[in-house]
Amino acid sequence: RTVYVNGDYLPESEGRVSIFDRGFLFADGVYEVTTVLDGKLVDFDGHAARLERSLRELDMPMPMTRDALLEVHHRLVAENDIDEGLVYLQVTRGAADRDFAYPAEETEQTVVLFTQAKPGLAKAPEKGLSVDLQPDLRWGRRDIKTVQLLYPSMAKMAAKRAGHDDAWMHEPGGTITEGTSNNAYIVKGNTIVTRQLGNEILHGITRAAVLRLAREAQMKVEERAFTVEEAQSADEAFVTSASTFVMPVTSIGGKAVGDGQPGRIAGRLREIYLDEARAKAL
C-alpha cells in the first residue's frame, strides 16, 4: 500500500513518525474515517468540516485546504485501487520535547493518511448486532474526534468476551450515550429516538445524513437521551457510522429487541442512505 506522511507518498513500510510525536505521547491528535464506495468518497465535505471543528477545539489549524485534502484522498484511493473501503486520516500537534504545555505554534503538524480495502462493505447485513451494556467512562469532550480510543476499545473487548458484537455505553442515570464507534438509535412505533448533540457524544456524519433522510421521508425523529429500559423495550434499534452505514441491533444487554429480527425502519434507512451516499460521492 501507498500511504501519505507529511507531504510524501510512500510504501507503507517506509511511513515513519517521531517517537516524540504528541499523538503518540499524549493522544494529542484527531482523526477522520471516510468511506469509499465505487471508488468515490462518501460525504467528504462532512468529514472535512468535522476535522476542522475538532482541530479548532484543540487550538490547531487545518494542515491544508479542503481541496488539497481531497486530492490526497483521491490519490491514495487511486494508487491503492480501492473500490470499497475507507481512508483514515490523522492529524497531530507534531513532535516536540515532552511537555504538557503545547509546543510553539510553528511546530509542524503530523499528517498521516492510509487506506483500507473492505470488499463487500455495503452488502446487506445477514443479521443484527448483539450489543452489551458498558458504563461510559470516557472523558467529557466526546464531540472532539481525538485519537484517545482506549476506553471504547476496552468496552468493545469486554463486550466481545461476553459474547456480544459491540457495546452501548451508558451514564450513571441509565441513559445511553452511544456505541463504542457508532451512534445509537431506538425506534418506538414510528418514532426514531437518538441522543441529542452535545459534549457527550460524537457528532456522527452518518447520523446527520440519516436524520435528514428520515425527516425527508416523513419519519418522526426525537433527539433526546433514552434509557437502557426504554432501549430494551423498543420495537427496533440500530447504529450508524461511516463504515457500517445503518446496522440493525437485535439484542441489547442480553434482551432481544422487538421480535429479535433486524427492523424494517433500519432496513429502509440503510437503503435510502446508501442510495444517496453513492449518488453524491466525490
Alpha-helix runs per DSSP H in 163-226: 205-216
Nearer to ligand PMP, 203 or 261 (CB): 203
Q: Which is nearer to ligand PMP, 16 or 141 (CB)?
A: 141
40 in catalytic set: no
Residue 95 CB contacts under 8 Å (≥ 6 apart), including other chains: 17, 18, 20, 21, 22, 107, 108, 110
Residue 56, H or E segment: helix 44-57
Nearest distance, CB of residue 244 and ligand PMP, angstroms: 8
> What is d(CA 203, CA 241) in angstroms, rounded to the nearest whole number?
10
Q: Which is nearer to ligand PMP, 110 or 182 (CB)?
A: 182
Given the rule CB under 6 A, which residues bind ligand PMP? 33, 178, 181-183, 202, 204-207, 240-242
Give the nearest distance from C-beta 238 to ligand PMP in angstroms.
12
Q: Which grid coordinates belong to 174?
A: 441509565
Max intra-chain CA distance, the chain:
58
Distance in Å, CB of 96 to ligand PMP, minimum: 27
Cβ-based nearer residue to ligand PMP, 36 or 202: 202
Cβ-based neighbour number of residue 121 at 10 Å = 17
Long-range contacts of 98-101 (CB under 8 A, 24+ apart): 98/20, 98/25, 100/26
Active-site choice (40, 123, 127, 145)? 145
CB of 73 to ligand PMP, least distance (A): 15
**Could you list the active site residues?**
145
